[in-house]
Amino acid sequence: MNETTPVQRDIMNAPFGDTLLNVLASEGRREHAIIVPDGGPCLTYAELAARIGTVAEALRQNGISRGDRVAIVLPNGLEFVTVFLALTWIGAVAAPLNPACTEPEHRFCIEDAAARAAVVLPASAAAARAAAASLAVPVWDARLGSDAQVFVESAQPFRASPATVEMPRPDDIALFLHTSGTTGRPKAVPLTHRNLMHSVRTIHATYQLTAADTSLIVMPLFHVHGLLGAALASLNAGGAIVVPPRFSARSFFGHCAQHRVTWYSAVPTIHRTVLQRAAEENVAATSLRFIRSCSAALAPELWTRLETRFAVPVVQAYGMTEASHQMASNRLPPGPRKHGTVGTATGVTITIRDERGGVLPAGARGEVVIEGPSVTSGYYDNPQANAAAFFGSCLRTGDEGVLDGDGFLTLAGRIKEMINRGGEKISPMEVEAVLTAHPAVAEAACFGVPDPKYGEEVHAAVVLKSEASERDLLVFCQDHLARFKAPKRLYIVSDLPHTSTGKIQRQPLAARFRTRE
């Protein structure tokens, strides 16, 4: 750039504090910040910061100012990272949406966020464009130039004149996300700069990330797992991120080898796909330093297979949108790890509570409750949800779990998904762990269905990787579980329903098989 813009001058002179202006400010950072593989751009930290400043100025010229919310409907890539940080660096609020959403879903989220504009790729995102048009919300194109410059272009500015430059403050909202619940109206979660920076620094410290680390981003950036848990934590450590547009098993190991990837974070579904590809390509030795798993339960057998195949530690973590992602994690060696747990608290305080909010002792099972600087202060414009979700300033996660005497957390599953069979509470995750230990089972989901005698009965569905009968699997469960926990019925299916971030959706399965006897 030949001239410094007002936004860039303010950014360069701003006291960073607990805002995302600080996310790229590692003193020991390496030269390259972001790599788009397969012929895409490779930018240094200085080049990335310059492009963020250019986009920030373009947004200001279109009238976007501190506090304005802007929907981002972009795939993973340089455009997403640049637009997200440009918005937050001028105090605006980024509202990322899943590009795969339908028009009604986009319309709900854009309207609920009161978005001032929507940023998309040129000639793409037809559903988002239609939703924005129906709400008279301007649609702006994020375009990548031949020199890897990112441009945000619009014939329809939000305001007629440029906005005044105002830098973000720690308690300003930076990120506005909707929960991906399987039922009911999605809840909007506003997260502040302070929330996000606390989480990013916690993840950075938990895994001892440095400028020598390179992370392959396989999770979507429209969710906190990919955005905070992998991308921003790496950049905050001064390392590099490799950002393909989507996860591809076919190119995974090629990207790892070419860019000397040292870690990646994913859901178990992706880990299984990586293992399958490794077997097909006979891959064992890699540049990986560790593997992280989060956002869904990691079965012990999958944990063991990953460590055996790649000869690196696997660390399971526990996170949720309302906590700006990570809440607990197992540690890298020589730190302690316990298979079957999600580790100990990171950056938050974790307690186990009864239904009235009373703190339970170690070893007792109850609801996982958290408190800390990364936790949202409440759902947006939803007092009913807030009343149900908080004990004072402590957030009820909706997960049932147990803390042992060493502070390690074992999850039993979502409280609403616990199966109550004649008064016995059964964890779907416990049954799933047994099923996935069978050599023929690739993936499993357990759920409750109504039963006239017991109230609920245990059923399960599995995806197979080799031949097995329903009877074989039922007998296997009966050999490894108490009789009341073993599934009464088992369904062999071609696939299981997942959320956009890889979590198994048990409730749709329950509805699907409810009438089958």
Residue-level pLDDT at 10: 47
Quick: pLDDT tens for 128-141.
999 999 999 999 99
Helix 300-310 × helix 268-281 angle, to 10° = 40
- State mean pLDDT over 76-95: 97
Residue-level pLDDT at 51: 96
- Residue 430 pLDDT more than 50? yes
Quick: pLDDT tens for 312-341.
999 999 999 999 999 999 999 999 999 899
- Tokens for 500? 């956009």
Helix (H) / strand (E) element for 394: namely strand 394-403
- State mean pLDDT over 158-174: 88
CB 129 within 8 A of CB 195: no
**Residue 146 and residue 202: Cα distance in Å, rounded?**
37
Q: Which residues lie below 8 Å from residue 517, measured CB to CB, with a gap of 6+?
A: 489
- State mean pLDDT over 237-253: 97
The type of residue at 448 is: G
Residue-level pLDDT at 486: 93
CB 207 within 8 A of CB 292: yes
Residue-level pLDDT at 420: 85
Percent of the chain with pLDDT over 90: 77
In this structure, the strands spanning 394-403 and 365-371 are: antiparallel
Lowest mean pLDDT among 37-46, 136-145, 412-421: 412-421
Residue-level pLDDT at 14: 44
- State mean pLDDT over 25-48: 94
- State mean pLDDT over 152-157: 83
Report CA torsion sign: 268, 412, 424, 419: negative
Compute the mean pLDDT over every residue in the chain, rounded to the nearest whole number: 91
DSSP three-state, residue 66: coil
- State mean pLDDT over 433-450: 93
CB 230 within 8 A of CB 219: yes
The radius of gyration computed from the CA coordinates of the chain, to the nearest angstrom, equals 23
Residue-level pLDDT at 496: 92
- State mean pLDDT over 277-281: 95
Quick: pLDDT tens for 188-204.
999 999 999 999 999 99
Number of H helices, E strands in the chain: 15, 26
Q: Could you tell me which residue, 174 or 296, shows the higher pLDDT?
A: 174
**Residue 333 and residue 202: Cα distance in Å, rounded?**
17
Exposed/middle/buried for residue 147 (C-beta within 10 Å: 0-12, 13-18, 19+): exposed
Question: Could you tell me the CA-to-CA distances from 498 to 103, 112, 332, 334 in Å, in that order?
Answer: 20, 24, 29, 34
- Residue 161 pLDDT more than 90? no
- Residue 186 pLDDT more than 70? yes
Q: What is the 3-state secondary structure (H, E, C) of 84-107?
A: HHHHHHCCCEEEECCCCCCHHHHH
Cα end-to-end span (Å), the chain: 69
Exposed/middle/buried for residue 374 (C-beta within 10 Å: 0-12, 13-18, 19+): buried
**Residue 75 and residue 70: Cα distance in Å, rounded?**
16
Residue-level pLDDT at 69: 98
Q: How does DSSP classify residue 427?
A: -
- State mean pLDDT over 467-478: 95
Q: Whats the size of the chain, residue-wise?
A: 517
- State mean pLDDT over 38-64: 95
Lowest mean pLDDT among 23-27, 188-192, 237-241, 253-257: 23-27
pLDDT confidence bin for 1, thresholds 50/70/90: very low
**Residue 263 and residue 286: Cα distance in Å, rounded?**
10
Q: Which residues lie below 8 Å from residue 470, measured CB to CB, with a gap of 6+?
A: 490, 491, 492
**Residue 367 and residue 354: Cα distance in Å, rounded?**
6
- State mean pLDDT over 286-309: 93
Exposed/middle/buried for residue 238 (C-beta within 10 Å: 0-12, 13-18, 19+): buried
**Residue 130 and residue 9: Cα distance in Å, rounded?**
37
Lowest mean pLDDT among 156-160, 235-239, 460-464: 156-160
Residue-level pLDDT at 515: 56
Q: Is the peptide bond before 41 cis (omega within 30 degrees of 0)?
A: no
- Tokens for 187? 């809840």
- Residue 426 pLDDT more than 60? yes
- Residue 117 pLDDT more than 90? yes
DSSP three-state, residue 506: helix
Residue-level pLDDT at 9: 45
Domains of the chain with bracketed CATH: 6-17+47-195 (3.40.50.980), 247-414 (3.40.50.12780), 418-513 (3.30.300.30)
